Amino acid sequence: MASSIEKDGTALIVDDDVAVLTAFELLLKPHLASVETEKDPRKIEERMKSKTYDVVFLDMNYAKGVTTGEEGFRWLNKILAIDPAAVVILITAYGDIDTAVRAIKEGATDFVVKPWQNEKILATLSSALKLRESRVELEASRNREKLLSAELDQPFLDMVGKSQAMVRVFETIRKVAATEANILLLGENGTGKELVARAIHRFSNRAANPFIPVDMGAVTESLFESELFGHEKGSFTGATNERMGRFEVASGGTLFLDEIANLPLSFQAKLLAVVERREIMRVGSDTPRPIDIRLITATNAPIHEMVAQKKFREDLLYRINTVEINLPPLRERRDDVPLLVEHFMKIYGRKYQKTGIHVSPDTVRVLGNYHWPGNVRELQHVIERAVILTESDSIRPEEILLSPSAVAREDASGPEHSLLQVERKHIEMVIKKHDGSVSAAAKELGLTRTALYRRMRKYGL
């Protein structure tokens, strides 16, 4: 029996009898990674707050001449209050059925009577370790469910913003989500068009059914019909099996066609026919198949200009934009930058086990003044990179890697570039003050030599 217990658990033995503690320790040490003993039950709380134990063996009587077991029950309740998943095995020399029943009712896992049999103790330990493992897994599962529920309770999940532009977007999502209206999302790359599409689906009557995204820019012309409408076996070389297209897969739910403006005119006509008739024809088949989808499309292209230039069908545009939602670029909602920074810091702090770090106020100001050609997606990548590379508890401006061309554009754009100019002039002044001594300048600026060298390279000093 003893050999079946893996040496990976921890145990705490609490008893006022030193002989009992010694006997338990000698018996359990070969089978556990850690065995600790405690003679004074008043120290249980301190021990359990500083360390987690897989199993606690707890004596029931401590005061001389007392055999009621009330002390044991009191300490049992304290242990379970500290760790509800604790596995506690009570020990007593005065066992009876009533006491055993009460012990189990109050949360004990088992009951050992002195004198004990070693094999019985080891068998009890083995069962206790398995129970502890299952309780820990259950608690982790519940925590994941709570976290998921908390995330689902947030109106728009990863869509973060309080600017007027984003408030209008959120209001529109709420208004259109429960309808069957086709939605066209317009916005630059990185503004969160797919997040908006998913939010609309989530708040719609189709939320329990599939959300199927398709990047139209990645669908080759030769496979357009097969990818979207499906094909029959043998309909073309390589079609070894029949296949459902994205429209069929999404039936009952939402189909999201991203980069819709990339479609050639010939395919636009085919898409229009499907949207109008609400049916598709698989490649190699002459039998129409009905489809039931909510269509959401998106593009970063000036689609209305494309219609005027005869590059996009006007009749198709009318079909896909019953409601049009314009997503603002990040440079037009700078008030949201600190919120987004905090949001991504939480995500990547957890991901890379660096939850103690933060972004310095100077860094937030630099980020707020940046042009953000890649919008929220670029900010997300900048924060992730900074979290990975930082070696301190504060992310400073020199640790933020921004696009030089975008910084240059920002410097030329007006008053918003003033922070970077002020920083450059101040560094230059301090270096001159110390006759070019980088060490002395770095000390006055509160920077490391390496950090100052980085800034000097950044500003061409």
- CATH number, residue 436: 1.10.8.60
Residues 314, 370: one domain? no
Q: Is residue 33 part of a domain?
A: yes
Residues 135 and 270 in one domain: no
Report how many domains make up the chain: 3
Please indicate, yes or no, if residue 25 is contained in any of the structural domains: yes
Report d(CA 177, CA 200) in Å as an integer: 5
Residue 151 domain-assigned (yes or no): no
Helical (H) or strand (E) element with 384 = helix 375-389
Residue 276 makes CB contacts below 8 A (sequence gap 6+) with 319
Percent helix / strand / coil, the chain, rounded to 5: 55, 15, 35
| Spatial separation of the C-alpha atoms in residues 427 and 413, rounded to whole Å | 22
Backbone angles phi, psi at 97, to 5 degrees: -60, -45
User: What is the pLDDT at residue 418?
Assistant: 47
Domain boundary at 328, 344, 372, which? 328
**pLDDT attached to residue 460:** 74
Assess if residue 441 is contained within a domain. Answer: yes
pTM score, whole prediction: 0.57
13 and 91 belong to one structural domain = yes
Computed on alpha carbons and rounded to an integer, the radius of gyration of the chain in Å comes to: 33
Number of helices (H) and strands (E), helices first, in the chain?
19, 16
Which CATH number do you get for residue 83? Answer: 3.40.50.2300
CA–centroid distance for 292 within its chain: 32
Residue 437 domain flag: yes
Q: CB–CB of 93/140 below 8 Å?
A: no
Q: Where are the alpha helices (DSSP H) in 66-208?
A: 70-82, 97-105, 118-153, 164-177, 193-202
CB 192, CB 159: distance < 8 Å? yes
pLDDT value at residue 147: 47
Provide the domain limits for residue 218.
Answer: 164-328
- Rounded CA-CA distance 218/233 in Å is 24
Rounded to whole angstroms, the Cα distance separating 170 from 431 reads 49
CATH code of the domain covering residue 270: 3.40.50.300
One domain for residues 348 and 320: no
Cis peptide before 115 (omega within 30 of 0): yes
Measure the CA–CA gap between 354 and 375, rounded to whole angstroms: 25
Give the per-residue pLDDT at 397.
87
Residue numbers of the chain with a pLDDT score lower than 70 = 1-7, 65-67, 94-97, 140-158, 403-423, 446
